[in-house]
Amino acid sequence: MQKITLSTIAHKGKIAYRLHFAYNDALKEVIKSLPYIHWSATHKCFYAFYDTIPFKALYKQLRDLNLFVNYSQLQKTRGVTTYVKTPSPLKLPQLAESTQRDLSRFVRWMQEKRLAVSTVNTYHAVTSLFLQYLQLKQVANPDALWIQRFNHDYILKGGHSVSYQNQCINGIKKYFAFKNLEVENMKIERPRKEKRLPVVLSKEEIKSIFEATHNLKHRTLLSLIYSAGLRIGEALALRPQNIDRHRMLIHIKMAKGKKDRYTLLSPNILQLLETYYRVYKPKTYLFEGQEGGAYTSSSAQQVLKKAMRKAGIFKQGITLHSLRHSFATHLLESGTDIRYIQSLLGHNSPNTTMIYTHVSEKSLKNIKNPFDDL
């Protein structure tokens, strides 16, 4: 798992995140394509301004690339809300060879259980830290108490996020299951995650993004993601045969949670797809790269970034997933039953879908303000 370090720099009179990583041509191209990321010839680094992308959004972008993000060097600056990180006082030792072999067996065990690649990488990274901590403390038989101590000594004192803390607990519990250690009755307190509302684009903003996208493949990709409420991974995994033009549905196979589902196929999207087929003639995947294979997520993010810039949209935190959020919100505002929206999005629980009731402009506007009765 490659590491990327975030620190703070002053650039062009503003505060910015500095992104530092060991040189890698492939990673360099991916980082360069991310929204709001720029190259500074002055500082010889990639950077993003604090006021253009929130820390959480930047962190998620980097974690989605399976990068281990070290943000211990970020500082609080006047007028900017961010995180103050204090490096952990612990200096963890290198793992013994026998423990490294055990960790490799743990990885193979997770792979055999068909866990997602990103999950395997994350659990491997956090479990490695936990085992280093146990080695430092000379613990041979760990239990729930040692997970709590690791949580306090490494995660909390290191100033890590709630999300990272939960990832650590999940990864360590999975390791305990691999070792056939008792995990069911472990009473491990989990911190509550912050509940942030999704960023949603208006219909006018969505339309302006499409109008600013002149490349046929790019416009078809963005339009399909929005019109069907797709995750980017689902869109890039689509094959031509997944488009059911007779039933006007799109078959999403092995989506999140390894579930299949159907979602909407717009008549206008079908017309756009027919034009796209004639020009690009996709073979294996619906959207293919220049050298074959599926189109990459980083390239798709770059498409949206350029379209937003051309359309003059500078909202913070907009990613391809925002098109999915916008699809769900616009359906809700048009009166679609939330149970249907849940099915189209592939949510396990209606509680997940209910978040869109909090960002629906129509539902908020229908509430009469008591101030108006005074």
Catalytic residues: 231, 256, 321, 324, 347, 356
Write the burial class of residue 186 (CB in 10 Å: 0-12 exposed, 13-18 middle, 19+ buried).
middle
Q: Is 159 left (phi over 0), alpha (psi -120 to 50) or beta?
A: left
Could you give the CA distance from residue 174 to residue 248 in angstroms, rounded to a whole number? 41
Could you give the CA distance from residue 52 to residue 50 in angstroms, rounded to a whole number? 6
Could you give the CA distance from residue 236 to residue 7 in angstroms, rounded to a whole number? 33
- 84-91 long-range contacts, Cβ below 8 Å, gap at least 24? 84/159, 85/158, 85/159, 86/157, 86/158, 86/159, 87/158, 87/159, 88/153, 88/154, 88/157, 88/158, 89/157, 90/133, 90/136, 90/153, 90/154, 90/157, 90/158
Handedness of CA 234, 239, 243, 249 (dihedral sign): negative
The owner of tokens 């190259």 is: 39
The owner of tokens 């990832």 is: 167
Assign 89 to helix, strand or coil: coil
